[in-house]
Structure 1
């Protein structure tokens, strides 16, 4: 499990709740691991480390989302069964933690105490079902792929500007985006989840419509929205991080 999870425990507290944080396309664990110092001591931060990044740089990348979800469940299930837990995911991470939550509910009758989702189009949105006419990502040259990334607007500008760095991470980012390229879900007759949810988004993220209202359909639990200043990576701004942390702490204080 260690290679999949960067687990951080606040030495000043006793863990009674586990928060699992899922990365955006190409993302690692360090951003979330830093939350340990900001959250109350009873919340243990578990940042998910997917193949192809940090200590897993040489590990095979996933090209099938269903297989990734099955493996995540296998790896995380013992920890999820020990204590109450919640999920946070931004962009691709929001979809991964949603799918994992559905898988856990279906196969193990296990559900997060709370879901914190950010910066992603809702799973059942018709926007995900619209016909895509662009050339598939796996058929693009590296230069074409970088051009597409720039248009998508989901990669930090400073990363795109560093040509040597971005080319190093092209395989990882491409693999992550291929996972989502054909992702769409038919809405079930009833919500698959029942846990409460919070959705965060960048108020100036104009590169995509996340169909926030459609996120309400994934759970019968309560649903709250917070729009924070900034674009797609609004959560990396210190003030916004503090607001997200405050919300998480408030929602989990009784768990």
Structure 2
């Protein structure tokens, strides 16, 4: 990657592929980090170079202060990704919280006249504009109540939430990401000239099939919904084979 190291803190590339014709930028769910996509770098075909995004305040960037406001995060991301977007065609994949980031980043790129992705992949990500009301804020709550609400909302095992590793390694990033999510406000704009592929889980407690289908309203040039046989909101790992199959099908032939 021909960019200064400061940009590569944000845009990681575990397996550079100089001959790739397209980059897939991957945005993790709340509390996650770039390592979620580690196996993707070797399991997707050679024409795709996988570039997971690493946000500050976690994993390799644990010592940095996290960003806690949506607008600040999107604007910072657009600046850090600009050199990469000018080098090679791109697609965006976002899971849950990461899907809303990928969507709003694409709309910001359109407003500023920057290169936009060839396709958006949104997994376990609700089209929030169809919800009559959003869940009550939780990021301000004490740790015990915060984890109780998060565990109930996403069906996370209590033994995982109570583990020392989770509370030391994940909790600070999760709280920051929930602050970002709670500061997000959807505003209506013209549909994108970017096709959208949505993935949902049939038994997802957080995202209904209707909320996944509603992304069709945000594009003028093609939409596809795939519902996966899972009850897990975090199917980015458990349904990796089906996700990869869908991504490959929809990217084949898009970049030269």
**Same fold per superposition (TM over 0.5):** yes
Indicate if the aligned counterparts of 1:63 and 1:175 stay in contact, CA closer than 8 A.
Answer: yes
Which ranges in structure 1 are unaligned for 5 or more consecutive residues? none
Instruction: Report the equivalent of 2:205.
Output: 206
More displaced stretch, 27-36 vs 143-152: 27-36
Q: How much has 1:184 moved relative to structure 2? A: 3.0
Q: 1:92 to 1:131 in 2, by over 3 A?
A: closer
Which of 57, 64, 69 is equivalent to 1:64?
69
Query: Within 5 Å, which residues of 2 pair with 1:87-126?
Result: 87-126=92-131
| TM-score normalised according to structure 1 size | 0.89
Q: In the aligned structure 2, how far is the partner of 1:159 from the partner of 1:108?
A: 43
Length, aligned pairs only = 245
Q: 1:10 to 1:154 in 2, by over 3 A?
A: farther
- Structure 2 counterpart SS, 1:226: strand
Query: Within 5 Å, which residues of 2 pair with 1:173-252?
Result: 173-188=174-189, 190-191=190-191, 193-209=192-208, 211-230=211-230, 231-237=232-238, 240-252=239-251
Q: In the aligned structure 2, how far is the partner of 1:41 from the partner of 1:158?
A: 39
Is the counterpart of residue 149 in structure 1 residue 150 in structure 2? yes
- Structure 2 counterpart SS, 1:124: helix
Q: In the aligned structure 1, how far is the partner of 2:134 from the partner of 2:236?
A: 30
Q: In the aligned structure 2, how far is the partner of 1:84 from the partner of 1:114?
A: 10
- Residues 19-65 of structure 1: CA distance to partner in whole angstroms, max 9, x if unpaired? 00001001111221311211111110000001111110011111111
Indicate if the aligned counterparts of 1:202 and 1:233 stay in contact, CA closer than 8 A.
Answer: no
Q: 1:10 to 1:157 in 2, by over 3 A?
A: farther
Indicate if the aligned counterparts of 2:94 and 2:122 stay in contact, CA closer than 8 A.
Answer: yes
Q: In the aligned structure 2, how far is the partner of 1:63 from the partner of 1:209?
A: 26
Which of 6, 11, 16 is equivalent to 1:5?
11
- Structure 1 counterpart SS, 2:120: strand
Q: 1:156 to 1:79 in 2, by over 3 A?
A: farther
Which ranges in structure 2 are unaligned for 5 or more consecutive residues? 1-6
Q: 1:156 to 1:94 in 2, by over 3 A?
A: farther
- Residues 93-121 of structure 1: CA distance to partner in whole angstroms, max 9, x if unpaired? 00011111111111024211011101121
Q: How much has 1:158 moved relative to structure 2? A: 6.0
Indicate if the aligned counterparts of 1:33 and 1:46 stay in contact, CA closer than 8 A.
Answer: no
Aligned Cα root-mean-square deviation (Å): 2.0
